[in-house]
């Protein structure tokens, strides 16, 4: 069964600190996609990244970086030099099977991140 676990319900850090949000997933498929979304207080879902299960290269985008490790079924997200504007709820998500079954996105419960000035 597919499942996404974000064990950290809430994290608070002081501005400029680095913070890592953990994500562990379960799937029986060999082909799948992993995502991170940001949900600021305004409520919309902001897409951050999508990774194919065959691409284990880590990715960096500005202050954001992602560490994908198939061996531990983890897809962790790190914010470097955090800023108050990073305060939001962050969701890790999984989508399976690019072929003919349903392609819904399974979301984790989210991690609420507070960046304190």
Partner 1 sequence: DSGVTQTPKHLITATGQRVTLRCSPRSGDLSVYWYQQSLDQGLQFLIQYYNGEERAKGNILERFSAQQFPDLHSELNLSSLELGDSALYFCASSRATGSENEQYFGPGTRLTVT
Q: Which stretch binds partner 1 (CB under 8 A): 9-17, 62-70, 74-82, 93-101?
A: 93-101
Q: How far is the CB of 15 from partner 1 (least distance, A)?
A: 28
Of the candidates 14, 60, 105, 116, which one interacts with partner 1 according to CB under 8 A? 105
Binding mask 31-50 for partner 1 (x = CB under 8 A): -xx---x-----xxx-x--x
Residues 6+ apart with CB under 8 A from 8: 21, 22, 111
Q: Which residues of 33-60 are buried (b: 16+ CB within 10 A; e: fewer)?
A: bbbbbbeeeeeeeeebbebebeeeeeee
The helix or strand, by DSSP H or E, that contains position 11, with its residue range, turns out to be strand 10-14
Nearer to partner 1, 11 or 13 (CB): 11
Tokens matching residue 59: 């990715």
Name the one residue in this structure whose structure tokens are 């991140």.
113
Q: How far is the CB of 84 from partner 1 (least distance, A)?
A: 23
List interacting residues with partner 1 (CB under 8 A). 32-33, 37, 43-45, 47, 50, 52, 91, 95-110
């Amino acid at each position: 069964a597919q499942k996404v676990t974000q064990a950290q319900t809430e994290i608070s850090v002081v501005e400029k600190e680095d913070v890592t949000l953990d994500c562990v997933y379960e799937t029986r498929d060999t082909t799948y996609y992993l995502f991170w979304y940001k949900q600021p207080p305004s409520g919309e879902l902001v897409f951050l990244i999508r990774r194919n299960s065959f691409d284990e290269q880590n990715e960096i985008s500005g202050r954001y970086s992602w560490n994908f490790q198939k061996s531990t079924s983890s897809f962790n997200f790190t914010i470097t030099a955090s800023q108050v504007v990073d305060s939001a709820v962050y969701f890790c998500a999984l989508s399976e099977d690019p072929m003919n079954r349903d392609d819904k996105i399974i979301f984790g419960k989210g991690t609420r991140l507070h960046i304190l000035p």
